Amino acid sequence: MARDLDRDEEKRACVTGASGYIASWIVKLLLHRGYVVHATVRSLNDPKKTEHLRGLDGAKEKLHLFKANLLEEGSFDSAVDGCCGVFHTASPVLIETPNPQTDLVDPAVKGTLNVLSSCAKAPSVKRVIFTSSAATVFHTGRPITSETLFDETWFSTPEACKGFIGVCMFAKNSTFIPKWPRAFSHSQDSYVLSKTLAEIAAWKFCEENGIDMITINPVVVIGPMLQPVINWSSDLLFNLVNGKSETYLNATFGWVHVKDVAEAHIKAFEIPSANGRYILCETVAHFSQIVDILKELYPNLKLPHKCMDDQPFQPTYQISKDKARSLGIECIPLRETLKEAVDFLIEKKLITP
């Protein structure tokens, strides 16, 4: 059970993969709350991984950067040592790779076990918050309809993940949807598998070693970015608004604001009664619905005007919000999330209204 953090003289937490999209926001919020943050990155000499972290409010006084590699045993020992909480977000998000086992599965699974091994060695660690994914929830082999209600008891199976191709996960009899630029490929099933195997391995390790772990399982995460490189989920939105695509995907996803995801991580750590898994989703929406909202918000943007195939739209299934609400999380509405995300792209001159 996590101790009452308000009684700690100095709150100290480790964030792995700290240069990433969600992780950067976790670091930002932890610093704002007065934590001393041990942030791990793959290279201390890469400004794309460090400058935006060093520029955060409070970073000069309370941020310490550590070099760590997911596949190097003991690499996280020094970063974890002395921390009461560990936020493990480091995991590759590669949707297109010729070597999915080497580039996705091994770093996700072995890396998670390496981080947890470091946690098991550190008596200071009271709780681990593991950034998982809704990918570890949806792929069970059961048919999905508009009546399907996902909650934290659903768990993807490796067998179902291996049968997942592209974005056809919800279409029972659909054909493969051609790759959308910079979005999906045949390697997508390996990403889903990597996240599922990593979470399975994490739960087993924590049970065997007496580690208090909680997983956060977000759907597609969008919103303003802190890091200088566009991540995969932000790229999904970018491809809709950059004026280069005439079609949108025939795909349905859950959507959630990155701030809510980061906030949920910290609340899951700080609330003693928190336990198990937490799916984070504000709205489940088909890409056609996303485009409709964007047309209302930005009538001058060149947006896709048709679906890329003539198949029936994938269903807008349902996701329970009850457990996330037990953390006090009331997600930012999708319309507001989309506006913040696109306004950020405009502000950074990545798109032109």
pLDDT in tens, 320-344: 999 999 999 999 999 999 999 999 9
C-beta neighbour count of 191 within 10 angstroms:
28
Decide if pLDDT at 215 tops 80.
yes
Q: How far is CA 12 from CA 63, 96, 146, 216, 263, in A?
A: 10, 36, 44, 20, 17
At residue 220's C-alpha, the angle toward residues 215 and 224, to 5°, is 105
Among 59-68, 240-249, 264-273, the minimum mean pLDDT is found in: 240-249
61 assigned to some structural domain: yes
CA 30, chain centre distance (Å):
17
The CATH code of the domain that includes 204 is 3.40.50.720
Evaluate whether residue 86 is within a structural domain. yes
pLDDT in tens, 294-321: 999 999 999 999 999 999 999 999 999 9
pLDDT for 183 beyond 50:
no
Q: Name which residue leads in pLDDT, 95 or 327.
A: 327
Asked whether residue 159 is assigned to any structural domain, the reply reads yes
pLDDT by residue (tens digit) across 189-214?
Answer: 788 888 999 999 999 999 999 999 99
Tell me whether residue 245 is in a domain. no
Q: At what angle do helices 334-347 and 232-241 cross, to 10 degrees?
A: 80
Q: Please check whether residue 32 lies inside any domain of the structure.
A: yes
Q: What is the pLDDT of residues 99-119, one digit of tens each?
A: 778 878 888 899 999 999 999
Query: How many domains does the structure of the chain reveal?
Result: 1
Strands 252-257 and 220-222: parallel
- Which has more confidence, 94 or 93? 93
Give the Cβ contact number of residue 89 at 10 Å.
26
pLDDT of residue 205: 97
287 located within any domain: no
State which residues form the domain around 323: 10-223+257-281+318-332
- Looking at residue 185, its pLDDT comes to 39
> What does the alpha-carbon distance between residue 178 and residue 266 come to, in Å, rounded to a whole number?
38
